[in-house]
Amino acid sequence: MSGKEYNKGLQAKDSKIKKKKKNMGYVEISDKERQIQIDTMLDFINSFLTENNYNYNDINSNECTIYQIINKVYQRKQYFKIFHNIDMSDLKELALNCFWIVKLKPLCLNKNLDEKIKVELRSINEKFAVYYIIKVLRVLIINTFPQKQEQDEAQKKLNDFFDELYIYELVYCLFYRDISKEAFIMLVETIAKGIGLQPYDKNSLSCSN
């Protein structure tokens, strides 16, 4: 089979999958919304590199991988809506973004780097995932608590939770262990619960009985 025939076969398969999803009620993310989310992720990456004094020449962000992450999370949101008739929470969306950051690794190291630097930066995507969790939780705190005092108390809890040792252990775990999407969601929701954010709908208790 030639390369042209192979690509044609892939396009036909992709077309069938899209048609099947459409029949099931799936809606493709718009180009505009996708680009907004890609730009937001790139902003987070730039902030992460700047705040941690990383050399921009050592690390590249792969926009194609970010594109994949955005699509996968959006597809999961559609799944929740179609099969469970619920909107995905901000915490679940945060967890899935970080899951795919760890899996797909949008941050790439320059191939010409010294081996010693490569070793030091090998967990760069896991560190970015932890940074992403902290930053988004800070925003959710502000959006959840109207009073400044409540915000300050929650931010302090977040700071205390993510001490240096916990960050080290979490990065180690994300780098060396295989964590499922469901476990990642539970991890983020548990952290949120620990700092005063309510990750669950209390009405779900009556629904499960």
pLDDT at 83: 83
| Interatomic CA distance for residues 162 and 158, integer angstroms | 6
Neighbouring residues of 140: CB distance < 8 A, sequence distance ≥ 6: 90, 91, 192, 197
> How high is the pLDDT of residue 123?
97
Residue 62: closest CA among 99, 89, 100, 27? 100
Q: Is the pLDDT of residue 89 over 60?
A: yes
Q: With H, G, I as helix, E, B as strand and everything else as coil, classify residue 108.
A: strand
For residue range 43-86, list pLDDT tens digits in order: 999 999 999 999 999 999 999 999 999 999 999 999 888 887 88
Instruction: Please give the pLDDT value at position 62.
Output: 96
pLDDT in tens, 130-180: 999 999 999 999 999 999 999 999 999 999 999 999 999 999 999 999 999
Residue 207 pLDDT level (bands cut at 50, 70, 90): very low
